[in-house]
Amino acid sequence: MSRSIFSILFLGFSLGCSRPELVSSEEQEAMALSSPTQATLALQQPTQVGSLRVRLQKIDDSRCPMNAMCIRYGSAVADFQIEDSQGNSAAKRLYLGDALPAPDNRGSRTADTVEVALGNRHYFLILSDVQPYPNTSDSIPPEKKVTVSVLSL
């Protein structure tokens, strides 16, 4: 009796287990395109981010310095030029911090995302960080750098 119960359990576990499916190269490519590609950009230096060339055109950082008392948080506003391999390009503005006045007001932001259409392809451009954070003790502040991600839709 115990042998038959053991045999039935063994058979049940054997049928329940299956070999994991292998991922095709097309599925791997689709997964790679749907994963965001991240890069750190310096001012006016074109950088390849995934399949796009992204240039940080301008950055205005009015965030409250870390060692100061401020009435408002402020914001960091970054202007980007995005170009694909076919030469299609777009200019986009992203920001972190307090809400901006219209028409750019998208509410308070700890990260900002905009959709970019280049040719027949669509992407999300995501601004997640602007460094270094302002500090009142920096007499000559270091060059700003931003962290962006590109996600193909």
Domains of the chain: 37-152 (2.60.98)
CA distance 33 to 123: 10
0.85 cut: is pTM over it? no
Residue 29 Cα distances to 19, 24, 26, 49, 123, angstroms: 22, 9, 5, 16, 16
pLDDT reported for residue 24: 46
Residue 60 Cα distances to 43, 130, 150, angstroms: 11, 10, 21
Tokens of 87: 């030469």
Q: Model confidence over 12-69: pLDDT tens digits?
A: 545 444 444 444 444 444 444 567 889 999 999 999 988 899 999 999 998 898 888 8
Residue 26 Cα distances to 29, 87, 99, angstroms: 5, 25, 41
CA distance 145 to 83: 19
pLDDT reported for residue 109: 66
Contact 116, 49 (CB under 8 A): no
Q: Model confidence over 117-135: pLDDT tens digits?
A: 999 999 999 999 999 988 8
